[in-house]
Amino acid sequence: MRAITAATIAVCAITCAFVALPARSAGPAVKPTPTPTPVAIAYDEIHRNIMEPATPPPPGSFQDDYQLAMQGSGAGTQQASNASTPAPKKHGLGSLMSGMMNPGAQGEAGPGGPPGDPMAMMNAMRYGTVVRYTWYWSKNWIREDDPVTQTAVIHKCPQHQEIHLDLKNKTYTIVDTSQNCVTDAGSGGGSSPNYSGMKMEPGTVDMNITNTNESLGPKTIEGIATNGNKSTMQMSMTNATGSCTNNDFGMIKVAYISDIGKPRAYCPLVMGHAAMAGGGGMPSGGCKPTFHGAMTGNPMADSGDKLEMYLLTQMQTAQMRGRSFDQLTERGHVNWYYKPQADPLFEPPPDFTKAN
């Protein structure tokens, strides 16, 4: 907005000067200097899992939640321009459901401890974790900063390179990732599980699904205009036989979506994850549901190619006995960088030395 204002002032100044001069001195019009285009975007992201009796904060609470997350992680109060704590690598509904079904296998470390550390997990659940993402669009580079460990990782996907920065000791290392990746999701590779020989007990179940969407209207969050949407899904599984089970499942998703294009990483797949995209086959037999009802939209889908400034997912199952499990993502401190600002962020600083 500042650049547009400057260009507008320049046009006004030129116009006013021409009006003040005699008509014979007007001369040809002078075009203003084009406004430069940003090449990167940065924002802080708070990620938090919430269990009752705690309740999720309302949209617009980013600043307070940012301070709580930073203090709870042991990083103390820091300026928004500083790096932030990395969020768990797996967000989304799949991780949420996996963690609920097998909480001892998540292996995600919260701030202040290694994977499985109860105190670290409690701090992460209570205060949330924060990550600062910086995305270099044209080069497909990504930087993630962590103020607790005072480290950063620069991912240069097209170059198969990672640069690890130790911001405290001013050292860096460069890792060649080409040996650990596959470029084609369907190429197999890695230690992918193969289900093609497995058989499961057959079964059937009636699955009744209803879904509704509600507009929550416009709301400005962190100076960014958004539109809110609430999606509610209820699923009931009845008349189960064989390997199927009766169950009830409910999910509510509240999203405040901006007009900012969502940055996406098109990195090569890490070896061992290729089975998620192809190969391996699926077990034969198993539970076969029969679907009933109608859905208006898919609450499990993300918000498309636009960045959510606030995203709350609330899930409830019959086994949870009326309690819900909430997953919240809040974003703020959005900033755009031009090339002279962005380029140095994706290289080791000149006063850093290469670690052995």
- Closest by Cα among 80, 74, 90, 89 to 127: 74
Residue 69 makes CB contacts below 8 A (sequence gap 6+) with 46, 48, 85, 127, 128, 129, 130
Both 131 and 12 in one domain: the answer is no
CA 331 – CA 2 distance, rounded (Å): 22
Both 74 and 192 in one domain: the answer is yes
Q: Would you state the pLDDT for residue 291?
A: 86
221 to each of 79, 90, 224, 287, 289, how far by Cα in Å?
19, 25, 5, 44, 41
Both 4 and 122 in one domain: the answer is no
Q: Would you state the pLDDT for residue 283?
A: 54
Q: Would you state the pLDDT for residue 157?
A: 86
Other CB atoms within 10 Å distance of the CB of residue 94: 10
Other CB atoms within 10 Å distance of the CB of residue 217: 10
- Closest by Cα among 336, 240, 350 to 4: 336
Both 17 and 101 in one domain: the answer is no
Longest dimension (CA), the chain: 93
Both 195 and 326 in one domain: the answer is yes
Mean pLDDT, 10 residues at a time, the chain of 356 residues = 42 38 42 73 92 88 91 54 37 38 34 52 76 91 85 91 95 87 40 58 90 94 96 91 90 95 66 41 73 66 81 82 83 94 96 91
Q: Would you state the pLDDT for residue 177?
A: 86
CA 155 – CA 141 distance, rounded (Å): 6
Both 11 and 117 in one domain: the answer is no
Q: What total of structural domains would you count in the chain?
A: 2
Both 83 and 165 in one domain: the answer is yes
Both 11 and 94 in one domain: the answer is no
Q: pTM of the entire structure?
A: 0.69
CA 190 – CA 312 distance, rounded (Å): 34
Q: Would you state the pLDDT for residue 267?
A: 64
262 to each of 135, 177, 230, 308, how far by Cα in Å?
10, 25, 20, 8
Both 25 and 5 in one domain: the answer is yes
Residue 159 makes CB contacts below 8 A (sequence gap 6+) with none
- Give the residue numbers spanning the domain of 2: 1-35
Contact, 249 vs 300, CB < 8 A?
A: no
CA 72 – CA 154 distance, rounded (Å): 26
Both 192 and 271 in one domain: the answer is yes
Both 342 and 266 in one domain: the answer is yes
Both 83 and 226 in one domain: the answer is yes
